[in-house]
Amino acid sequence: MRVTIVGCGAVGSLFAANLAQVDDVEVWAFDLDREHVAAINEHGLQLSGAGEVLAHLRATTDAAELPPSDFGIVATKCMHTAAAIEATASAFTAGAVCSVQNGVGNEEAIAERVERVIRGTTFPAGRVVEPGHVQWDVKGDTTIGPFEPSPAGMAEVERLAEACTRAGLPTQAVADARGPQWRKLIFNAATNPIGALTGLTHGRVCEDPGLRRLVSQLVDEGKAVAAAQGIELDADPEELIDHAARPEVAYDHKASMLQDVEARRPTEIDYLNGGIARFGREQGVPTPMNDAVTTLIKGLEASWAT
Amino acid sequence: MSERVWVIGGGVIGSLFAAHLSRVADVTLMSRRTEHAAAVSENGIRVSGRADFVGRPQATTDPAGLTEAGLAIVATKASDVEAAAAQLEGRLVDGAAVMTVQNGLGAEEVVRSHGPWPQLSAVTFMSGTKLGDDHVEYVLDTPTWLAPYQDSPLELAEQTATLIVESGLKAEAMPDLEAARWSKLIFNATVNSVAALTVLPHDHHFAEVEEPTDLGHLVRGLIEEGKLIAAAAGIELGEDPWEMNVLATQRGSRHYPSMLEDVEAHRRTEVDFITGALVREADRRGVDAPLLTTVYRLVKAREASYL
């Protein structure tokens, strides 16, 4: 079985390196970072932290080099999904493509170029520390399922889940993968922009009663939009938010959007709060708070250009 | 009317008043910082932009000379009015007048609690940028409106407005400026908070409403909440704050609201006296103001991240 990782940043590298350890899986990685790709081809892809792995796989910046693959795993930042899948689609004419990205809207973008799409949500996380080397910060589960409008077959979904699980990334194949995706979406949308706008860590956001109420308002809107689509969340985002605020969990964690803002990188706001607002408009569910934080973050991004 | 005027607070507004008034009156600028007072004493205050001259007020950090003043203009930040009023107490003579010119609500009451002086309420629409302790750029030459506070006579507002106009600034006296004050409060609560959170100067983004995610939608939503609060408080607004917003962005000055400058410099902002004043008024009147409450909380939290 051949798997091509599209976007070999931190999360993409976790999938690439672990899958390459499995005997019957051949892994290719597509990424635009020349140094990272060269380092992977020369020295292998190294993971350290939650797991120690040195994997040998083929990496390229040239999508034309990619061989036909059984599976694609898209792990780019959301705003690069459309361009990445457009570049690589010809490798997946006979394959199925799975998103393991943040937010909502990625599967829709993939389905514009690929016939069989898999909806995915993943919790393992890390960061690229140098070309060819990724720090694996947290282990976690992945849930995948057919993307309803352009579904991959359930047998295919199970085959990918089984390979990932054997690779050391516990993955569950389910018929409806929207619950975990919206649970993670609502969690991220309720916490990320607040951290980004205030500069506060997750724990400090949660211990300010006014901000915590704002977090709940964002959660409630997300839940209403999920419910209008018939999505059943697999866990209550409120509990996850409070759990993460504990000192031994993620009190001091700076949301990835705050890290983006501090580095003046484009954020994933359009696929988080902007995604909730977009689906809300489709469903006729008002999302004033998600609209408000979306416009504020987009204003902040605009300030870097002025 | 040749009198001794003390301007308390040497920010943009205080500097503009002190520099201009020094051309028609005996003016002393009181600053909290000795180096600021020294710079003004030595070099005067250079005004550039809409005007071009060097004003020559005296400058000090010592309130002792307030006993000589006939008019005290309190031009500090809202959060410093209490300290300024405490300095007036026991120094400023009973017949002298006090004019407050803060953003937000409540400065008059703070001053009143320190003495029985005749008071003027003022709202200023002029703006500028401090380029140094002894240099202020005069950006928007819009007027300052003055009205008597409580039982002060209208003539006092008229005389003071005349003095300000003679000095080269724009001013108008009126019997009541609640309408103007509320228009400005809603405008400032919206524009300053959004600027502080987005780091955008007050530019075209604030008036854009084409795409669903354009910033103008939030700005308009905040202003609509402000109007509901004003209506509940029985206030008939002066200028429409949304039109003020659109007009200001069309002028192309890309003004940096003070709340944004404060956040950038990691200083305490005036958010409690501007956005917070509206949110408190909404609570008191039972008006739902979720967007104003949200930007208020976010700016407070932003402050908490660095204070």
Q: What is the tens place of the pLDDT at every residue in B11-41? A: 999 999 999 999 999 999 999 999 999 999 9
Taking an 8 Å cut-off on Cβ atoms, the answer to whether B298 and A194 are in contact is yes
Domain end marker among A138, A153, A173? A173
Tell me the CA distances in angstroms from A303 to A105, B204, B294, one per residue in order: 25, 12, 20
Taking an 8 Å cut-off on Cβ atoms, the answer to whether B218 and A205 are in contact is no
> Closest by alpha carbon to B75, among B33, B103, B96?
B103
Query: Do A43 and A133 have their domain in common?
Result: yes
Per-residue pLDDT, averaged over B167-196, amounts to: 94
Q: What is the pLDDT of residue B3?
A: 81
Whole-number percent of chain A with pLDDT over 70: 100
Nearest-angstrom CA–CA distance, B65 and B72: 11
| Averaged pLDDT score across all residues of chain A | 96
Domain contains A40: yes
Q: Looking at the predicted structure, is the pLDDT value of residue A92 above 80?
A: yes
| Interface test with chain A among B272, B305, B306, by most A beta carbons within 10 Å | B305
Strand partners, B49: B138
Active-site residue set of A: 184
Domain end marker among A146, A173, A200? A173
Q: Looking at the predicted structure, is the pLDDT value of residue B253 above 80?
A: no
Taking an 8 Å cut-off on Cβ atoms, the answer to whether A300 and B198 are in contact is yes
Q: Chain A: residue nearest B306 by CA?
A: A199
Q: Where does A230-283 show beta strands of DSSP type E?
A: none
Domain contains A30: yes
Domain contains A102: yes
Q: What is the pLDDT of residue A54?
A: 98
Q: What is the pLDDT of residue B255?
A: 86
Angstroms from A229 CA to nearest CA on chain B: 21
Q: Which fold would CATH assign to domain B178-301?
A: N-(1-d-carboxylethyl)-l-norvaline Dehydrogenase; domain 2 (1.10.1040)
Q: What is the tens place of the pLDDT at every residue in A297-306? A: 999 999 998 6
Q: What is the pLDDT of residue B192?
A: 96
Q: Chain B: residue nearest A281 by CA?
A: B212
Q: What is the pLDDT of residue B104?
A: 81
Taking an 8 Å cut-off on Cβ atoms, the answer to whether B218 and A197 are in contact is no
A218: which chain B residues are within 8 Å (Cβ-Cβ)?
none
Q: What is the pLDDT of residue B13?
A: 97
Q: What is the tens place of the pLDDT at every residue in B110-153? A: 999 999 999 999 999 898 999 999 999 998 898 999 999 999 99
| Averaged pLDDT score across all residues of chain B | 95
Q: Which domain holds residue A21?
A: 2-173
Taking an 8 Å cut-off on Cβ atoms, the answer to whether B197 and A300 are in contact is yes
Give the long-range contacts of residues A152-157, CB within 8 A, separation 24 or more: A152/A96, A152/A98, A152/A116, A152/A117, A152/A118, A153/A96, A153/A116, A156/A71, A156/A96, A156/A116, A156/A118, A157/A96, A157/A118
> Closest by alpha carbon to A57, among A43, A68, A67, A44?
A44
Q: Chain B: residue nearest A278 by CA?
A: B212
- CATH value at residue A222: 1.10.1040.10
For chain B, which residues lie within 8 Å of any Cβ of chain A, measuring from their own Cβ?
194, 197-201, 203, 205, 212-215, 217-218, 221, 254, 290-291, 293-295, 297-298, 300-302, 304-306
CB-CB contact of A64 with A36 (8 Å): no
Q: What is the pLDDT of residue B1?
A: 41
Per-residue pLDDT, averaged over A121-143, amounts to: 94
The set of residues, in sequence order, having a beta carbon less than 8 Å from that of B36 and lying 6+ positions away, is B10, B59, B133
- Smallest Cβ distance to B302: which of A197, A214, A295? A197
Q: What is the tens place of the pLDDT at every residue in B44-70? A: 999 999 999 999 999 999 999 999 999
Taking an 8 Å cut-off on Cβ atoms, the answer to whether B200 and A288 are in contact is no
Query: Do A189 and A264 have their domain in common?
Result: yes
| Interface test with chain A among B218, B272, B280, B302, by most A beta carbons within 10 Å | B218
Domain end marker among A125, A155, A173? A173
Query: Do A87 and A227 have their domain in common?
Result: no
- CATH value at residue A24: 3.40.50.720
Query: Do A227 and A120 have their domain in common?
Result: no
Query: Do A24 and A115 have their domain in common?
Result: yes
Taking an 8 Å cut-off on Cβ atoms, the answer to whether B294 and A289 are in contact is yes
Per-residue pLDDT, averaged over B93-110, amounts to: 92
Query: Do A144 and A79 have their domain in common?
Result: yes
Q: For CATH 3.40.50.720, list the domain ranges present in chain B.
A: 4-173
A296: which chain B residues are within 8 Å (Cβ-Cβ)?
194, 197-198, 215, 218, 295, 298
Q: What is the tens place of the pLDDT at every residue in B2-13? A: 589 999 999 999
Q: Looking at the predicted structure, is the pLDDT value of residue A62 above 80?
A: yes
- Radius of gyration for the alpha carbons in chain A, expressed in angstroms and rounded: 19
**Location of structure tokens 């408000």:** A292
The DSSP letter of residue A65 is G
Per-residue pLDDT, averaged over B246-269, amounts to: 90
Query: Do A95 and A182 have their domain in common?
Result: no
Domain contains A306: no
Query: Do A71 and A133 have their domain in common?
Result: yes
Which numeric CATH code is attached to B4-173?
3.40.50.720
The backbone torsions φ and ψ at residue A5, rounded to the nearest 5 degrees and listed phi first, read -90, 125
Q: For CATH 1.10.1040.10, list the domain ranges present in chain B.
A: 178-301
- Smallest Cβ distance to A300: which of B199, B214, B218? B199
What is the count of structural domains for chain A?
2
Angstroms from A199 CA to nearest CA on chain B: 6
Taking an 8 Å cut-off on Cβ atoms, the answer to whether A198 and B290 are in contact is no
Per-residue pLDDT, averaged over A210-226, amounts to: 98
Other beta carbons less than 10 A from residue B116's beta carbon: 7
Taking an 8 Å cut-off on Cβ atoms, the answer to whether A292 and B218 are in contact is yes
pTM for this structure? Answer: 0.83
Instruction: Please report how the helices A273-283 and A209-228 are oriented relative to each other, as an axis angle in degrees rounded to 10.
Output: 40
Query: Do A67 and A169 have their domain in common?
Result: yes
> Closest by alpha carbon to B176, among B223, B107, B224, B235?
B235
